[in-house]
């Protein structure tokens, strides 16, 4: 099943912890440029523009605002 990513800018604070955890988990470095997820600030909102929707997405556990989650269909929600 394809897992789609959705952004909820009202929950996302733009802290980019998801990027750090992602890059460390999959590349062994704390480098947001090497993350599979990208958060971009668009004025006063922060949007997730890219994500590979990993099966075991470490960003879900890492998000302090609980902006990232899977719905009942296993769709990754941000």
What number is the average pLDDT over the span 24-50? 91
pTM (predicted TM-score) = 0.82
Number of domains in the chain: 1
Return the percent helix, strand and coil in the chain, to nearest 5.
Answer: 25, 20, 55
Q: How far from each other are the two terminal CA atoms of the chain, in whole angstroms?
A: 18
Establish if 52 belongs to a structural domain.
Answer: yes
pLDDT above 70 as % of the chain: 81
Establish if 4 belongs to a structural domain.
Answer: no
For 34, the domain range is 17-77
Establish if 6 belongs to a structural domain.
Answer: no
Establish if 32 belongs to a structural domain.
Answer: yes
Establish if 50 belongs to a structural domain.
Answer: yes
Establish if 54 belongs to a structural domain.
Answer: yes
How many beta carbons lie within 10 A of that of residue 37, not counting itself? 25
What pLDDT shows up at residue 16? 94
Residues 6 or more apart in contact with residue 54 via CB below 8 angstroms? 22, 26, 36
């Amino acid at each position: 099943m394809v897992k789609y990513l959705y952004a909820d800018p009202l929950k996302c604070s733009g802290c980019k912890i998801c990027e750090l955890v992602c890059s460390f988990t999959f590349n062994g470095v704390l480098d947001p440029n090497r993350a599979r997820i990208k958060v971009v600030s668009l004025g006063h909102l922060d949007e997730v523009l890219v994500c590979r929707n990993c099966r075991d997405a470490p960003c879900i556990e890492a998000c302090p605002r609980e902006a990232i989650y899977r719905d009942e269909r296993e769709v990754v929600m941000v």
